[in-house]
Chain A
Amino acid sequence: MSVSTDSLFMLFWLLLASYAAGILLPFCAPRKPHIQGMVGSACSCAASLIGIALGLSGLVAAEPLTAMLPAPIPLLAFAIRLDPLASFFVLTISLAGLAAAIYAMGYLKEFHGRVSVATLAALTNGFLLSMTLVVMADNGFFFLMTWELMSLASYFLVVTEHEKEDVRHAGFFYLVMTHVGTAFVVLTYLILFQSAGSFSFESFRHPEQALPEGMKTLVFLAALIGFGTKAGIVPLHGWLPYAHPAAPSHISALMSGVMIKTAIYGLIRVYFDFLGGQFPWWWGFVILVIGTLSAILGVMYALMEHDLKRLLAFHSVENIGIILIGIGAGMIFQTYELKEFAALGLLAGLYHTINHALFKSLLFLGAGSLLYATHTRNMEEYGGLLRRMPWTGLFFLIGAVSISALPPSNGFVSEWLLFQTLFLSVQLPALFLKLILPIAAALLALTGVLALACFAKAFGISFLALPRSAHARQAEEVPIPMRVGMGILALLCVGLGLAPMIVVPLLDRITGPLTGASISHKILALDGWALAPGTVQFSSISPPMLAAMLILSGLLGLFLAVLLGGRLMTRSHKTWGCGLTLTPRMEYTATGFVQPMKRVFSTIYQPTIKLETEFLEESRYFAKQRKFEFHIEPVFEKYLYDPVVNAFWGIADRLRILQAGSLHLYLTYIFVTLVILLLFAV
């Protein structure tokens, strides 16, 4: 299918116009928050729909769309280029954007009268626009501008509820970390600029002649730290569990679902596009190790969280890790010229990217619905919500099944592809790597099953059994727009799981040019009904067939129940509470649920438990009251972030001597500086 460049160009301008309208129009209805929210959300909806069209047509277009506007500053050009990689990310951003915008039509009521809804709506549009432009930018300077716009828009969105102390702290932490990251991204581009002589991405490509080996390594590391900070890789993930929960929930969905993916985009763009896929094996190895570490530690810290949004934020660290495992394995294969396997690794990573964007946005919107209905983020105060909020519960369950990579969901398909990539390590020449990749696969399996445990906890404690608080008892199902927003994502999760035969050829259009091997016809076997990297003999799955098997076997179970048991009648009764009436206080808590994990993995958690007991004066056998405290050692904050912050404070303390508050002293400084500058001038 061919799409004319003209129609793409028109779509692009329509996209810009809708977002611009979304930024300006909400301010035209002062003191009517309801209208402001509706107008802003409607504009983002329209823009997202256009973005979806643009992304899809960009993926199938024969030629990438390019456009350039001259800019007033030298070296800068407002250049955009919509190649398949960029189109894929535009599509991902727009899909999540659409769901979040529809959801916001209901959710923004939460903020009426508390904060300026117009600003919130305008910032949301600005945030979506800047993310879309980041992945489309074709000029380093322009990229950095949009990158910074994205960071600032998201910062202001994080501090929406700035009257709260912890929100301000989260926002500041985010602001500092994101700028540290940006500094390294700037460094990456400056090094590339030095050899290319221009900021245009075209000149960045294939610098192997111009760029010495050491400089290439520097580009690798700077890009890893710069983009890694945004992506939230371990150990640079510190800001993520603070910033994402602090933002309004539909913004958390966008930040966790798609904003961190722009960093994945950046990494692929720099490594595979600019450096042309030419790298030593240890680059891929480093990415693989960081990916595995992020996956494992992300899910482990998530397990211990009982604040639903923080739990989800830690899962973003985990999933970024899973995506990086795919990219890292792809890079290792690329080094050894095993291009088809490299393409498979990259494809698995990208598949997981869009899957994670969908199910993580869905789960964050679900968490937002719980917050909307109960006004608390503490899981221990939920319970029994599936009966009160059946739709939210169903959608959250679909998200939970997808993120736990259970068949036949989309998460299962991408993780399965990832496992196959890692198993293909048999073909690698080095024994060390042959062993490392299967171990990564084993750790990926551990990650998967811990995620399963974590979401069994999250869903089980929040939605099942008896309500644990008055909030949960009075909860009501959320308004229709919020349900529609979640429903779209839930459908997409199911769809992308059942139809890999549509997704894989599209992804192949990205990975083909980047790795030099087109693999979609090789992966798709049996007319697209099965996926078989390698051959059908080596490994294959057929997600539609698995779904059919599950449904038919379930029906067989039902049939057997009727056949052997007759009429399906049931009787209800209270759960036996050992002779007492069962109360929510007797239920298993989230803390209790993860207690075995805490003990088994105590090396990682380093838990500290404090138990203070006050006894009755008459007898030491009877306790008057007990106080129990439990903490997990925040290893990274204690050993990485705090020393840096303390060193910073120490330096600032010393430098304070310069700023004594005396005007004469300041005049002297100016005078001395002037003299020194004059000396240099001579």
Chain B
Amino acid sequence: MPPLIQTISLLTAQVIVLLTVSPFLVGLIRKVKARLQCRRGASLFQPYADLAKLFRKQPVISTASSWIFTTTPYILFASTLSAGLLVPTFASQTPLNFAGNIIALVYLLALGTFFLILAGLDTGSAFGGMGSSREAIVASLTEPAMILSIFAIALTAGSTNLSTIVHKTALLEGIVTDPSPHLMALAALFIVALAETGRVPVDNPATHLELTMIHEAMVLEYSGRYLALVEWAASLKLAVFLSLIANVFAPWGIATTLAPASLGIGLAVYVVKIAGLAVLIGVIECMFAKLRLFRVTDLLGVAFILALLGLLFFYILRS
């Protein structure tokens, strides 16, 4: 295949995989939670039906809002999907590897957060403002921990480009014998992922109680296709973080070549890996209570310290 066609087909595959797998993850987490709570729960494919229904509904727009409110769902969808294109999913070499490294990924997600915070304020409802304000503080506490854990990983792999990290790790190049820095960075990044995707113990995606909601409060006024896009973007973000964790820390099985068999195995392994992580999140959501907003600081502080320790361990082990 000529390189251009190959690039485009790989990109298209990546987009399709991300868009189709992400609602499934949400469904899976809900199912696990339901089973653990001795309920039967909705079908695993309920989120797809929800999205299809929402897309067909006519949205209601607040008279107080501006074009920010109606553009935000598209910006959020675009920034999350773009971030997703930087993360290796089933193949270790993403065609857009050169377009951005992991810092670009963090800032692309921040672009979506920024507009979502604005949209929360735009309708004039106090709930939206409350959600925006909380989202802002949670985001400010997660970002430093995220950057440090990323750096700890980048040190081991000698790169900050995700494809390179994953590819090298998958081929077992440049891996230190002692995995402790990696494990600490993994723990830190997992906490960050819970916080960034609005999961228990930081936020509860299943609540509409004004005193506790964060993400749900920001998107409270959305309806119809706008809500569909926002929900899809939220599940995409979850998929992005799970792919990141799965492939950076356990890239084994990922397709390192472009042979059809390798790609097929890669896809199957990828789905199994992120499904496993989704089950883990479901279990965590059942086992822990949501933290008070001002106790979230402690949790994210732990993440920061873990990442810093990972960094320190790396240097000590090497010298």
* Chain A residues within 8 Å of B, Cβ to Cβ: 384, 386-387, 393, 401, 404-407, 412, 416, 419-420, 423, 426, 431, 434-435, 438-439, 441-446, 448-450, 452-453, 455-457, 459-461, 463-466, 525-526, 529-530, 532, 536-542, 545-546, 549-551, 553-554, 556-558, 560-561, 564-566, 568-577, 582, 584, 586-588, 592-597, 599-600
With A545-B99, A550-B79, A588-B121: A561-B132 Cβ-Cβ less than 8 Å: no
Q: Are A592's CB and B129's CB within 8 A? A: yes
What are the residues of chain B within 8 A of A452 when measuring CB–CB?
110, 113-114, 136, 139-140
The answer, yes or no, to whether B118 is at the interface (CB within 8 Å) is yes
Which one of B103, B130, B148 lies within 8 Å of A438 (CB-CB)? Answer: B148
Closest 9 CB pairs of A and B: A588-B129, A460-B121, A554-B78, A565-B55, A465-B124, A564-B55, A453-B136, A553-B78, A557-B77
A407 to B113, CA, bound (A): 12
What are the residues of chain B within 8 A of A416 when measuring CB–CB?
103-104, 107
**A406-B111, A455-B114, A545-B99 provided; 20 other pairs, C-beta below 8 A?**
A401-B111, A416-B107, A441-B147, A442-B308, A453-B117, A453-B139, A453-B140, A456-B136, A465-B123, A466-B124, A530-B99, A538-B160, A550-B79, A557-B74, A557-B81, A564-B51, A565-B57, A570-B60, A573-B61, A596-B293
A457 to B205, CA, bound (A): 24
A254 to B106, CA, bound (A): 32
- B208 nearest CB across to chain A (Å): 13
A597 to B315, CA, bound (A): 33
What are the residues of chain B within 8 A of A439 when measuring CB–CB?
148, 308
What are the residues of chain B within 8 A of A420 when measuring CB–CB?
103, 160
Bits for B282-319, please: 1 = Cβ < 8 Å to A, else 0: 00000000000110010000001000100110010001
A255 to B130, CA, bound (A): 35
Q: Are B63's CB and A574's CB within 8 A? A: yes
The answer, yes or no, to whether B58 is at the interface (CB within 8 Å) is yes
A599 to B133, CA, bound (A): 12
Q: Are B229's CB and A557's CB within 8 A? A: yes
What are the residues of chain A within 8 A of B151 when measuring CB–CB?
423, 438, 441
A523 to B82, CA, bound (A): 23
Q: Are A456's CB and B124's CB within 8 A? A: no
Q: Are B124's CB and A405's CB within 8 A? A: no
- A124 nearest CB across to chain B (Å): 34
Q: Are B104's CB and A588's CB within 8 A? A: no
Q: Are B64's CB and A571's CB within 8 A? A: no
What are the residues of chain B within 8 A of A573 when measuring CB–CB?
60-63
Q: Are B77's CB and A553's CB within 8 A? A: yes
Count residues of B near A (Cβ-Cβ below 8 Å).
90
What are the residues of chain A within 8 A of B65 when measuring CB–CB?
464-465, 575
With A546-B104, A561-B225: A597-B144 Cβ-Cβ less than 8 Å: no
Bits for B111-150, please: 1 = Cβ < 8 Å to A, else 0: 1011001101111111011101110110111011111100
A377 to B305, CA, bound (A): 40
Q: Are A554's CB and B319's CB within 8 A? A: no
What are the residues of chain B within 8 A of A540 when measuring CB–CB?
97-101, 161
What are the residues of chain B within 8 A of A386 when measuring CB–CB?
66-68
A584 to B98, CA, bound (A): 47
What are the residues of chain B within 8 A of A593 when measuring CB–CB?
121, 129, 132-133, 136
Q: Are B143's CB and A570's CB within 8 A? A: no
A526 to B60, CA, bound (A): 46
Which one of A445, A453, A465, A542 lies within 8 Å of B146 (CB-CB)? Answer: A445
The answer, yes or no, to whether B281 is at the interface (CB within 8 Å) is no
Q: Are B123's CB and A550's CB within 8 A? A: no
What are the residues of chain B within 8 A of A393 when measuring CB–CB?
66
Which one of B74, B120, B161, B304 lies within 8 Å of A539 (CB-CB)? Answer: B161
Which one of A435, A459, A584, A586 lies within 8 Å of B312 (CB-CB)? Answer: A435
What are the residues of chain A within 8 A of B315 when measuring CB–CB?
431, 434-435
A556 to B61, CA, bound (A): 22
- B79 nearest CB across to chain A (Å): 6
Q: Are A575's CB and B114's CB within 8 A? A: no
- B132 nearest CB across to chain A (Å): 7
With A456-B117, A456-B118, A539-B101: A588-B55 Cβ-Cβ less than 8 Å: no
A540 to B103, CA, bound (A): 10
Which one of B85, B110, B311, B312 lies within 8 Å of A449 (CB-CB)? Answer: B110
What are the residues of chain A within 8 A of B60 when measuring CB–CB?
570-573
What are the residues of chain B within 8 A of A561 when measuring CB–CB?
55, 225, 228-229
What are the residues of chain A within 8 A of B104 when measuring CB–CB?
407, 416, 541, 546
- B142 nearest CB across to chain A (Å): 8
A526 to B120, CA, bound (A): 40
18 residue pairs of the A-B complex, CB under 8 angstroms, read A404-B110, A416-B107, A448-B107, A460-B120, A465-B121, A539-B103, A540-B99, A542-B98, A546-B100, A550-B108, A554-B77, A557-B74, A565-B57, A570-B70, A574-B62, A574-B63, A582-B64, A586-B125
